[in-house]
């Protein structure tokens, strides 16, 4: 016991200077969010749900203006009718691409569920869209030579995934990386549409993808921008003509911007967005503590405990499948909801391998709440993300340290 406490203290002490930097980002982002709320004169009447067609839903319209401002686009769709991040990104891809078009993934294979949208049955490739993945550079980041070559074929769309996903070696792409990718694209193939999968990246840095030239970006409201309160939904932000094209696809031509009832009280979506910069900061502090503590306990972590981040995901490399399961079960056992449930490996729709998921969350599957996913394949990596409060994250790390330093682990 005393040893683990000392490890926790050491782990925390050495990341304190990083906390200061995280808080500096928080202050910038909190100001930005507040300014957007003030500019658009958010008022309690915006929270009232609408029904049916949802014509003139001022709550929806105002929320979409705020998202457009915050994420640097001309306009936005923010809808409860968008079920998930995959749904938002799939709609972008499906509405932009027709048979014969070339789709390029800028840095290796996209997230499992999107890979299926592209290559699965009834996916894009089955519908005649050509698809190319640019391999990673040796260090796991994006590969300028490979991308240059791919851009010479003038793809219709370049898909850039900010977060690393479930890849054992891939690095997440920072906003500066995305800026370089856009610059290269503008040089070589200016007509190519850049779509950024922003899942897990919102509010981690002070700029967002469209602010460095991406044409479209999309994500999930049960991740960062929902602030842990949003009960669901997704967003798409970008150039007006493109967002309109996605809206026409999602709803019906000519109607996408006009209809779409809120159905439920939008207060929690607004309030979640207001809290999101703070919640993301708590999740990042938790990610650094997980990395710092597991590193001290002798396990490889990615990113490194002191590395600057562009997403909230922390990977911990464990020796085998039984340790993976025990790790996930510990996260679950110290969750506020369903703490008595023991997660198991199981198939998950859209994922190639069986996955164990610890998500003792208030919102089902919410991964801005502290959660842990691990595909049952080698190398055995637990992906930890979220944490509504650092205090909860710290408590779970204390338990994880007990687990990984025990003789039976
Ligand atoms: C979560 C995530 C998605 C979308 O997943 P949903 O569960 O459908 O919201 C897409 N890409 C990345 C990198 C993600 O982390």
Pocket flag, ligand 1, residue 220 (CB < 6 Å): yes
Interval 217-233 mean pLDDT: 98
Pocket flag, ligand 1, residue 165 (CB < 6 Å): yes
| Ligand 1, atom 4, residue with closest C-alpha | 85
Best CA proximity match to 234, nearest among 87, 388, 381, 62: 87
Distance 374 CA to ligand 1 centre (A): 14
In this prediction, residue 169 carries a pLDDT of 86
Distance 114 CA to ligand 1 centre (A): 8
Distance 381 CA to ligand 1 centre (A): 18
* Strands in 248-293 per DSSP E: none
What is the token pair recorded at 63?
A: 């929320």
- Residue 382, preceding bond cis, omega within 30 degrees? no
Query: In this structure, how many other beta carbons lie within 10 angstroms of the beta carbon of residue 292?
Result: 24
pLDDT tens across 146-181, in order?
A: 999 999 999 999 999 999 988 888 999 999 999 999
Decide if pLDDT at 87 tops 90: yes
Decide if pLDDT at 220 tops 80: yes
CB 82 within 8 A of CB 199: no
Decide if pLDDT at 2 tops 70: no
Pocket flag, ligand 1, residue 343 (CB < 6 Å): no
pLDDT tens across 237-275, in order?
A: 999 999 999 999 999 999 988 999 998 889 999 999 999
CB 386 within 8 A of CB 368: yes
What is the token pair recorded at 142?
A: 């994006």
CB 104 within 8 A of CB 157: yes
CB 249 within 8 A of CB 81: no
Distance 38 CA to ligand 1 centre (A): 30
pLDDT band at 4 (very low <50, low <70, confident <90, very high): confident
Q: Which residues of 165-174 are buried (b: 16+ CB within 10 A; e: fewer)?
A: bbbeebbbbb
* β-bridge partners, 69: none
Weakest mean pLDDT among 178-182, 260-264, 278-282, 403-407: 260-264
Q: How far apart are CA 321 and CA 316, in angstroms?
A: 13
Interval 66-86 mean pLDDT: 97
Residue partners of 249: CB distance under 8 A and separation at least 6: 91, 94, 95, 256
| Ligand 1, atom 6, residue with closest C-alpha | 85
What is the token pair recorded at 49?
A: 């749900």
Best CA proximity match to 246, nearest among 91, 67, 34: 91
Q: Which of 197, 218, 224, 314, when mutated, tests ligand 1's pocket best, judged by the most ligand atoms within 8 Å of its CB?
A: 197
Distance 234 CA to ligand 1 centre (A): 11
Pocket flag, ligand 1, residue 163 (CB < 6 Å): yes
Interval 213-233 mean pLDDT: 98
User: Above pLDDT 70, what percent of the chain?
Assistant: 99
**C-alpha 362 chain-centroid distance:** 18
Interval 341-345 mean pLDDT: 96
Q: Which of 79, 90, 163, when mutated, tests ligand 1's pocket best, judged by the most ligand atoms within 8 Å of its CB?
A: 163
Distance 274 CA to ligand 1 centre (A): 22
DSSP 313: -
Interval 110-132 mean pLDDT: 96
Distance 163 CA to ligand 1 centre (A): 9
Q: How far apart are CA 389 and CA 326, in angstroms?
A: 23
| Ligand 1, atom 3, residue with closest C-alpha | 85
Residue partners of 314: CB distance under 8 A and separation at least 6: 287, 290, 291, 301, 302, 303, 383, 384, 385
């Amino acid at each position: 016991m005393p040893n683990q406490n000392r490890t926790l203290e050491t782990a925390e002490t050495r990341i304190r200077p990083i906390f200061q930097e995280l808080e500096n980002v928080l202050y910038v982002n909190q100001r930005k969010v507040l300014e957007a709320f003030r500019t658009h004169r958010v008022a309690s009447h915006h929270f009232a749900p609408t029904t049916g067609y949802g014509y003139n839903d001022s709550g929806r319209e105002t929320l979409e203006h705020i998202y457009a401002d915050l994420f640097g686009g001309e306009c936005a769709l923010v809808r409860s009718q968008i079920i998930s991040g995959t749904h938002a990104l799939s709609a972008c891809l499906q509405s932009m691409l027709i048979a014969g078009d070339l789709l390029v993934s800028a840095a290796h294979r996209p997230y499992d569920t999107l890979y299926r949208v592209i290559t699965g049955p009834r996916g894009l490739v089955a519908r005649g869209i050509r698809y190319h993945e640019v391999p990673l550079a040796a260090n796991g980041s994006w590969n300028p030579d490979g991308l240059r070559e791919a851009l010479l074929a003038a793809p219709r769309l370049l898909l850039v995934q900010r977060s690393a996903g479930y890849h054992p070696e891939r690095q997440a792409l920072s906003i500066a990386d995305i800026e370089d990718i856009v610059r290269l694209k503008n040089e070589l193939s200016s007509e190519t549409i850049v779509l950024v999968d922003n899942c897990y990246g919102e509010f981690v840095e002070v700029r967002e993808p469209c602010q460095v030239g991406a044409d479209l970006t999309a994500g999930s409201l049960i991740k960062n921008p929902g602030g842990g309160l949003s009960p669901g939904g997704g967003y798409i932000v970008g150039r007006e003509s493109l967002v309109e094209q996605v809206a026409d696809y999602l709803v019906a031509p000519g109607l996408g911007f006009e209809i779409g009832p809120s159905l439920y009280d939008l207060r929690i979506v607004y309030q979640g967005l207001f809290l999101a910069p703070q919640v993301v900061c708590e999740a990042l502090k938790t990610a650094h503590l997980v990395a710092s503590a597991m590193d001290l306990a002798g396990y490889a972590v990615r990113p490194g405990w002191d590395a600057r981040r562009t997403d909230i995901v922390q990977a911990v490399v464990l020796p085998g499948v039984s340790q993976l399961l025990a790790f996930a079960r510990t996260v679950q056992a110290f969750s506020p909801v369903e703490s008595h449930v023991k997660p198991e490996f199981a198939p998950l729709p859209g994922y190639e391998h069986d996955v164990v998921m610890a998500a003792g969350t208030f919102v089902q599957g919410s991964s801005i709440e502290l959660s842990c996913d691990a595909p049952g394949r080698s190398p055995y990596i637990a992906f930890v993300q979220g944490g509504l409060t650092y205090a909860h994250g710290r408590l779970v790390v204390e338990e994880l340290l007990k687990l990984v330093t025990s003789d039976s682990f």
